[in-house]
Structure 1
């Protein structure tokens, strides 16, 4: 695999993981709210805010690989 293909694969994988995390609160909030006997809309809002904050804290990868 050449460098450009590896970088594209890394970027695509990271993007897919980010999208999966962004979708996660909506997928689990109803189940969790039922288990906790709380409002699902409120839980979705809280989980979404925390996921967004966490992803923002992770930020962009700090990788500076030298070009050959």
Structure 2
């Protein structure tokens, strides 16, 4: 599974990071999402899905 972030949509709410800190972090300068782990291992897929679904701006997406 791969995670993509649309930085034009991200508003820096941080809900993705709260849901999956192993996969997402926030940029210090503006609080926008940084994908720490673009290719998510199977053991973190549930957390990644939760993080993607938590984004109110729909800035995150998943693909196989």
User: TM-score, structure 1 length as denominator?
Assistant: 0.26
Relative CO higher for 1 or 2, CA cutoff 8 Å, sep ≥ 6? 2
Structure with the higher strand share, 1 or 2:
2
Higher helix proportion, which one?
1
TM-score by length of 2: 0.28
